[in-house]
Copies of this chain bind each other. A is one copy, B any other.
Amino acid sequence: MNNKIKWLREKIRGLDMQGMIVSNPVNIRYLTGIDAEGILLITRKENHYITDSRYIEEVRSIITIDDEIIVHNASDVNSYDYENFFSFCENVGFEETYITYNTYKNYMQRYKANRLEETENILEKQRMIKDENEIELLKKACELTDNCFSYITKFIKIGMTEKQIAFEIEKYFFEHGAEDLSFKTIVASGKNSSMPHAKATDKKIENGDPITIDFGCKYKGYCSDMTRTVFAGFVPDNIKPVYDLVLKNQLQTEKDMKDGASIRMLFKNVDNDFRLHGYSFVHSLGHGVGLDIHERPFISYSNDSTLKENMVVTNEPGIYLPGEFGVRIEDTALITKSGCINLTKSDKNYIIVGTNNYASNIIN
């Protein structure tokens, strides 16, 4: 049986559960490598994965004998089989933060467990600490992101639309081995940059625009996340102090992040410095990155835990001035015993883009 499933079995035994129903496909991928629609049942002695005819071929090709997973086509599993999976089990775990209320009721009918027990995100919590293989994949996703950034800064020209730039980023990712995007690419220029979650629009890049580019890709399931705010033509004088303040805090957070660091203090330090300069901090400071683009730990004031070695988190302070502009600078970083290592490594000084006119650069 693979190590992750072994770990889960020990964990649920410790919680006095005799089995678990794993429904969240991201957790299933974490445990098994399977990327399909289906359900994983950890029973007393066996591991069962139930999928349908659309995926069965693919699933069988992914898992190995070592995984010890019995794969079923849902159409071959009858109600008697379902009852048997957990018969004589007192407590069976389920994912209360993933399945709907309705699915919970269905599980209660379908499985013959005495009780379905909440598992309080045991898998999501375990996923916070990355193993060697996961770190390799995260590094690869971040490397692709750095390469993409270096490409896109040369590509951007004044007169292009935000959408054109976003699209070129996505094209780059797909042409260079990304499995998918981490999330829809954000390219927000001029006033649009004041919205932390802006979508790319048909607005054209103008001289003097700040351009916030927030983007990332998935490599074999694992995400990257990086933001840079670059400048079209020149850096306007009114933006410089804000940029400098954001960067100063991003670099300070980078220094402070390490195994044992208080998450609340990391947030509080940035929040204090922003307030001191008359700005407020509307966004969180960061989040975990893994098979999900936003996962635990969340780096915000309400989180009273600490960073741990081999967590991978973003460091993304930002200042947003509605109707004016915004600046965000973000890296994905690996937490170590003594500090952190940025997995995204692109330059964070002022970056000027688009100094040539777009129209004169198109050769068709």
B residues in contact with A109, CB < 8 Å: none
* Interface flag for A174 (CB, 8 Å): yes
Q: In the complex, which of the residues B55, B101, B184 contacts A96, with contact meaning CB atoms closer than 8 Å?
A: B101
B residues in contact with A174, CB < 8 Å: 163, 167
* Interface flag for A99 (CB, 8 Å): yes
B97 touches A97 (CB 8 A): no
* A322 and B57 in contact, given A167-B171, A171-B167, A174-B163 (Cβ under 8 angstroms): yes
> Across the two chains, which residue of chain B brings its CB closest to A120?
B102
> Across the two chains, which residue of chain B brings its CB closest to A167?
B174
* Interface flag for A279 (CB, 8 Å): no
For chain A, the count of residues having a C-beta within 8 Å of the partner chain is: 31
* Interface flag for A98 (CB, 8 Å): yes
* Interface flag for A353 (CB, 8 Å): no
Q: Which of A134-173 contact B (CB under 8 A)?
A: 163, 167, 170-171
Given A100-B100, A101-B104, A101-B118, 15 other A-B residues pairs in contact with their CB atoms under 8 A:
A53-B282, A57-B322, A58-B195, A96-B100, A96-B102, A97-B100, A97-B101, A98-B100, A99-B100, A99-B101, A163-B174, A167-B175, A170-B170, A171-B171, A180-B184
- A117–B167 Cα gap in the complex (Å)? 44
Q: In the complex, which of the residues B101, B105, B197 contacts A100, with contact meaning CB atoms closer than 8 Å?
A: B101
B residues in contact with A282, CB < 8 Å: 53-54
> Across the two chains, which residue of chain B brings its CB closest to A323?
B57
B residues in contact with A55, CB < 8 Å: 197
B residues in contact with A57, CB < 8 Å: 195, 322
* Interface flag for A196 (CB, 8 Å): yes
> Across the two chains, which residue of chain B brings its CB closest to A163?
B174
Interface digits, A104-137 against B, CB 8 Å rule (1 contact, 0 not)? 1100000000000010000000000000000000
Q: In the complex, which of the residues B97, B105, B322 contacts A102, with contact meaning CB atoms closer than 8 Å?
A: B97
Of A54, A102, A282, A322, most B-chain CB atoms within 10 Å: A102
- A167–B171 Cα gap in the complex (Å)? 7
Q: Which of A172-215 contact B (CB under 8 A)?
A: 174-175, 180, 184, 195-197
- A105–B97 Cα gap in the complex (Å)? 10
Q: Which of A56-105 contact B (CB under 8 A)?
A: 57-58, 94, 96-105
Q: What are 20 A-B contacts defined by CB distance under 8 Å?
A: A54-B195, A54-B282, A54-B283, A57-B322, A94-B101, A96-B101, A96-B102, A97-B101, A99-B101, A100-B100, A100-B101, A101-B101, A101-B104, A101-B118, A102-B118, A163-B174, A167-B174, A167-B175, A170-B170, A180-B184
B residues in contact with A171, CB < 8 Å: 167, 171
B residues in contact with A102, CB < 8 Å: 96-97, 118
- A259 shortest CB reach to chain B, Å: 30
> Across the two chains, which residue of chain B brings its CB closest to A97?
B102
- A181 shortest CB reach to chain B, Å: 10
- A175–B160 Cα gap in the complex (Å)? 12
